[in-house]
Amino acid sequence: MKLEKYKDKNKKKRKAILISLGVIVLISVSLILYKTFASFTESAEFPMMNGKVDYFGNSDIYFVFYQGDKELEEMPQKGNEENLVFDHAECDNGASIEWNEEEWAPLVKGLNKVKTKCSLYFKEYDPDIAVNYIIDLAKTDTTNLMADDTSEANIRYVGANETVNNYIDIGDRDGEGNPILWRIIGVMNNITNLDNRGQQESLVKIIRAESIGRYSWDSSASGINGGYGVNEWSQADVMKLLNPNTVYRGTPTIGGNLYWNKGSGNCYNAKEEANTTCNFTSSGISDEAKNKIVKVRWNTGTFATNDNTQWTAKATYETERESHNGKEQCISNGGGTSCNDEVERTTIWDGYIGLMYPSDYGYAVGKEVRETCLGKSINSYNSGSCNTNDWLKPSSYTWTMTPSSYSSSASNVFLVYSSGIVSYSNASNANGVQPVVYLSSSVKIIDGNGEKGTPFIAQ
């Protein structure tokens, strides 16, 4: 009897131990699977032996390498004899590639499905390509070319107007055949190139060296926002003046496409749709220049409030890429006749020709005052020699493409004053217009040194 009880006790003890072990194993496996899945869904870095990855095999991802349309047997090695460099990547199943240039390896992100294919494209490095040319130049000219402190680390021309040699000839000519010059703002990274399948690229951003005239950013009938215009770039009168295939609401003969088509007619220049004659037959963008620019995605976000003490170059850059628009503050304060338009607000726009951002002006400051000025609001660049060391400071009030959120109006837009500060104005006011474009990634610089008399020659 005692022996049977002892056996029963041992049975229960063994059962308890087995159950405990089973629970421990189950928890351990669950933790391993959870950890693996969590890491797997966020990102994964795949070391490659000689750049070769089996077509799936035991892995959930495989890579294919291309030079143009030609499939390569293996990934080009860093410093390869063919001088191939990484261009871009395409993955299926929602995954994406972040290329690590230093490690010469892809970092796969968003990998949350099995059997994912990533195609990595390489191209021959050409030092004359405009992007490469400016990047290489920045390695030696560390005074006039500097990386900004944004997450994109864009390379920008900085400094006083008389010292910055960034003039470029893209083929525009006036009525007498003389070059109409532009100036290079810099190399902007992670730009969505809509003429290249929406790829994220590094592109050269340029601005017309001189204003094409003084016009309204937008004007409106007296019953809409008091006649002072609507601060929404995607339908703005100046946007329609600069770009193709657009016409003004109700009056196609006023302004639409005139700069793009080298036309003449009338352009808005005051409130309540007042307009004046304008002629771009000699100053409009040429067909040769059009062939060198690309359609990209522009950011048109703005600050949530109009607290101008917060407008540092970096804060402005970040807010241009956020979701606030130029009407929301007015709406939240009750609206009214200065906020009664029915135009849908957006914070991105796809097109060819824009204007400079407030942050472009902020980041163009250079010399010994650069660090101090970047810590200040661009609304106070008229102090501390910020304006005299900023080549983008205009000689007269000049529009940006960024709306300004204001508590009692949906018509305000940022502009750079002739004093060198950035503030806002009613969209219907007539201010300077300096077109801004991005050059195609295939454009080369074949001659020149950037001086006004010997500009870079784009081909």
Q: In this predicted structure, what is the pLDDT of residue 335?
A: 86
Residues 120 and 238 both lie in one domain = no
31 within domain boundaries: no
Q: In this predicted structure, what is the pLDDT of residue 226?
A: 96
Which of 124, 152, 178 represents a domain boundary (last residue)?
124
281 within domain boundaries: yes
Domain limits for position 109: 44-124
Q: Are strands 61-67 and 116-124 parallel, antiparallel or unpaired?
A: parallel
SS3 17: helix
Q: In this predicted structure, what is the pLDDT of residue 58?
A: 52
Residues 342 and 452 both lie in one domain = yes
Q: In this predicted structure, what is the pLDDT of residue 13?
A: 58
Burial 267-301 (b: 16+ CB within 10 A, else e): bbbbbbbebeebebeebbbeeebbebbbbbebbbb
Gap between the Cα atoms of 446 and 287, Å rounded: 19
13 within domain boundaries: no
Residues 309 and 425 both lie in one domain = yes
Q: In this predicted structure, what is the pLDDT of residue 29?
A: 46
Residues 251 and 321 both lie in one domain = yes
Which of 124, 157, 178 represents a domain boundary (last residue)?
124
Residues 162 and 308 both lie in one domain = yes
Q: In this predicted structure, what is the pLDDT of residue 62?
A: 86
Overall number of domains in the chain: 2
74 within domain boundaries: yes
386 within domain boundaries: yes
Residues 192 and 55 both lie in one domain = no
From the CB of residue 112, how many other CB atoms can be counted at a distance below 10 Å?
13
9 within domain boundaries: no
Q: In this predicted structure, what is the pLDDT of residue 183?
A: 98
Outline where DSSP puts E strands in 262-303. 264-268, 275-279, 296-299
Gap between the Cα atoms of 244 and 260, Å rounded: 6
Residues 179 and 313 both lie in one domain = yes
7 within domain boundaries: no
Torsional sign, CA 131, 135, 141, 144: positive
Q: What is the mean pLDDT of each run of 10 residues along the chain (459 residues)?
A: 48 59 53 42 43 51 91 93 92 90 90 86 94 97 96 97 97 96 98 94 97 98 96 97 71 81 96 97 97 98 90 97 95 91 96 98 97 97 96 98 93 98 97 98 97 98
Residues 202 and 247 both lie in one domain = yes
233 within domain boundaries: yes
Could you say which DSSP state residue 77 is in?
Answer: P
Residues 228 and 146 both lie in one domain = yes
Which of 71, 89, 124 represents a domain boundary (last residue)?
124
Residues 405 and 306 both lie in one domain = yes
Residues 117 and 243 both lie in one domain = no
Q: In this predicted structure, what is the pLDDT of residue 101?
A: 87
* pTM (global) more than 0.85: no
SS3 385: coil
Q: In this predicted structure, what is the pLDDT of residue 336?
A: 87
Residues 218 and 329 both lie in one domain = yes
Q: How far is the CA of 458 from the CAs of 130, 158, 215, 351, in angstroms?
A: 8, 21, 29, 21
